[in-house]
Each structure stands twice: as structure tokens, then as C-alpha cells.
Amino acid sequence: MSEANEANEPVEPVVDPYAEYEALRNHRPVSREEGGPWRVALYDDVRHVLKTHVDFSSEVSQRMQEEEGSTPTMLFTDPPAHDRLRGLVSRAFTPRQIAAQEDQITARCEALMADLASSPRGDLVTAFAAPLPVGVIATMLGVEDGDFVQFKRWSDTIFTDIGEILIGTPSPEAIAAGEEMSAYFLERIAELRRQPRSHLLSDLVYVDTDEGRLTDGELLMFCFLLLIAGNETTTSLIVGCTRVFHEMPETFARLQGSPELIPGFIEETLRFYSPFRATLRKATRDLEIAGQPIAQGDLVLPLIASANRDDRVFERADQFVIDRNPNPHLAFGLGIHSCLGATLARMEGRIAVASMLRHLEGITLCNPTDPELDGFGAPNSILVELQRAA
């Protein structure tokens, strides 16, 4: 039964997703609610679903498949279309291209954190964790400074409606933002075809292999995919790190004394508070997962965040172990769709944390039970108190 607040309105109890995952792992490892997808909770089963793309298709977005003339995006396609797109994009999205972002990420983190840390209280998300990845991607796509505010507005509007965009009916605002952003990037792509520049989008325009080149539509879809796949998740990672600092302030002090622990801290945060909590697949034939029959066409939800807390694989799975090693978490997925931006995300996380450690003595959440912390996707706002470094 729900409680009531001072205004006597019902307040939904805060649901702890990790307690729910544990109950699923222990009692109903492959299960579903009436009409819902099959939730897969154990590490080995999640791993199996992610790896076995022949049995578990990524072509789950009904709307995208039905829309005439729509260009597929690699996240929602199977081979051979997926292999072609991933192969072409990987030629430009190289370790070198990503390493080249280090300076812009550091400069952004420093400016945003200096600003946030100038007050004793602020909004971690709107002032730091959200603008950072949007700014990084905008720069990689060659969005000019003057167009940045507009780009941020489009990406915010699209995010707000992402569930509907993928499997439902997008809002008129999201459709309009999508159309404006498409027109903007098509114009940029046409300019780049006339004159190359030195950024990721330009490199993508000029990728040329035996598989051919990326069409305007494919380039456009990739710009959207970077926004969808890359921004919310990176924002969530930074929020996750801050949540760890709040819940275990000793981690903050430990990293200040031993910054070489930062990469391991990021891995453990990815495991402990996985930003991409679950993904979706569709069974391509009648099959079984851990003995549970699944019918062809049924949707399957591999619970990445649950797999990452499975104590059959991770010792002391519900404890944050700053130097956990090995740490075979599935936060970036596995198999043919494993995250293309993992190196970039890790770098952003690492530099963001280093920046916090430089400017602050500590950081705490004003409302540690904020339901937004465990909501789907990144929170829109998280108030924090900042203990500024002397």
C-alpha cells in the first residue's frame, strides 16, 4: 500500500531494483509478467543471449522496420546489414580518433567542474554530467559553437521521448526535433562532401571500403545513434560515480591518495550501477533459456544490471570493491553489438572523476533516495552538496 505525503497525496514506495533483481535471480531467473518480455536475470544466461545473435535478434523496433524507406541503425539490425554498418563506422571511430578527444574532454570537465564547484550546492546533472557527453559528441560531429545550444535542445527533446521513438508513437515535439536535426546534419554532410574537415563526421563521410561508402541516410542514422547510445549512458556513469562517493566517502579519499585506482573504480562503478540496465532481443525460433521454453517472436530482456550483481560470478557482488580484479562485467554488452563507444565512455568517466578529485574534498547527494537515481535512463536533475578543495 502506498503512503501519503503532507499534502495527503499517495507516494509510491521507492523500489530498489537491485533487491528485485536478486529475487529474480534466486527464484525466477527467466520469467515474465503477463504480456511483457522474458526477463533474464542470471549472468550466464544474459551472456548467452547477448552472444547468440543468431537466436536472439536485435531487430526489435517494430516501428523502424515498418516505416517505409527508413534506414536501419546498427543497434537494431542483424547481420549482414549490421556487419556492413559496423565495419564502415569502425574505420572512422578508431582508437586514434578517440584518443584525440582527450584534450577537449579535459578542458570541458575542468570548465564545467570549476563552475559547479564555485557554489556549495548545485545540480550535478544539468551542470556537469549531461553537458559533458553532449559537448564531446557535438565536437566529434563538427557542430559549430553557434549551433551548440540548438543541438543540445534537439538531443534533449529526442531523449525525453526515446521509449516512444523506438517502440511507440513519438511526440510531435520529438518528430519536429528529429526533422530539424536531420536537415541540419544533411546540410553539414553535403558541405563535407565538398570539403573534408578534421572530425569524426568528416572521416565517416570519406570511409571507403569493399563494402562501399555510407549513404547520407546511414550517416544521419549514425549521428542519431551516437546521441541515443552515448549521452544518457555517460551521464548515468558520472551520476553512478557520485552516488558511490556519497554512499562510500572513503572511496573519494582513497582515489585522491591513489589516482592510479581511477580506471578500476570506473569499471566497478559500471558493474555496481550499470548505466545501460537492460537491452532487448527477439527470439528467432522456438528455443529454451535455462530450461524455460521461449516461443519464436517473443521479446527477451537481458538484465545487464542484474547479471553484474550475480554472486555466482562476482564475489561479494553487492559490495563495491574499488580494485576488483578480474571484473568481467557486462555493462558494455557483449558480442557483435558490444558498445562501440566503450573506450570513449571510459575516458570521459576517468577524466570527470579526476576533475572532481581536483576541485573537491567530497561530494554528497542532497536526496539520496531520489527515485530518479534508479529510474530508466539518466536522471534529469540531481542536487549535490560540494565540499570545495582549499
Q: Which residues bind ligand HEM (CB under 6 A)?
A: 50, 58, 74-75, 86, 137, 225-226, 229-230, 233-234, 237, 275-276, 279, 304, 331-333, 337, 339-341, 344-345
Look at the chain and count its residues.
Answer: 390
- Classify the C-alpha dihedral 329-376-340-48 as positive or negative: positive
Q: In terms of CB distance, is 335 or 362 closer to ligand HEM?
A: 335
Shortest separation between residue 371's beta carbon and ligand HEM, angstroms:
21
Shortest gap between Cβ of 375 and ligand HEM (angstroms)?
16
Cis amide bond preceding 29, omega within 30: no
Smaller CB distance to ligand HEM: residue 190 or 202? 202
Q: Which is nearer to ligand HEM, 185 or 276 (CB)?
A: 276
What sign does the dihedral 248-390-350-237 (CA atoms) show? positive
Report CA-CA distances (Å) from 249 to 166, 347, 359, 363, 387.
Answer: 38, 23, 16, 8, 12
Written as nine digits, the cell of 133 is: 557527453
Residue nearest to ligand HEM (CB): 341
What are the residues whose beta carbons fall under 8 Å from the beta carbon of 12, sequence distance 6 or more? Answer: 2, 371
In angstroms, the Cα distances linking 241 to 92, 130, 244, 264, 364 are: 30, 14, 5, 12, 11
Q: Please give the Cα distance from 355 to 349 (Å, whole number).
A: 10
* Cα–Cα distance for residue pair 81/150, rounded to 1 Å: 32
Strand partners, 289: 292
Smallest distance from ligand HEM to CB 279, Å: 3
Q: Is 355 helix (H, G, I), strand (E, B) or coil?
A: helix
204-209, long-range: CB < 8 A, 24+ apart? 204/88, 204/89, 204/92, 204/93, 207/88, 207/89, 207/91, 207/92, 209/87, 209/88, 209/91
Minimum distance from residue 108 beta carbon to ligand HEM (Å): 14
The CB-of-78 to ligand HEM minimum distance in angstroms stands at 10
Smallest distance from the beta carbon of 369 to ligand HEM, in angstroms? Answer: 23
Strands 383-388 and 121-123, how do they pair?
antiparallel
Min dist CB 7 to ligand HEM, Å, is 37
For ligand HEM, the closer of residues 342 and 366 by Cβ is: 342
The strand ranges marked E within the chain are 3-4, 10-11, 30-31, 38-40, 56-57, 121-123, 281-283, 287-289, 292-294, 299-302, 360-365, 383-388
Question: Is 225 or 356 the residue whose CB approaches ligand HEM more closely?
Answer: 225
Least separation in angstroms between CB 59 and ligand HEM: 11
* Contact between 234 and 348 (Cβ < 8 Å): yes
Q: How far is the CB of 332 from ligand HEM (least distance, A)?
A: 5
Give 188 or 337: the residue with its C-beta nearer to ligand HEM: 337
Measured from the Cβ of residue 303, the count of other Cβ atoms closer than 10 Å reads 28
**Chain-centre distance for alpha carbon 287:** 29
Judged by beta carbon, residue 113 or residue 229, the one nearer ligand HEM is: 229
Q: Minimum Å distance from CB 160 to ligand HEM?
A: 19
Minimum CB distance to ligand HEM smaller for 56 or for 314? 56
Q: Which is nearer to ligand HEM, 137 or 192 (CB)?
A: 137
Shorter beta-carbon distance to ligand HEM: residue 155 or 233: 233
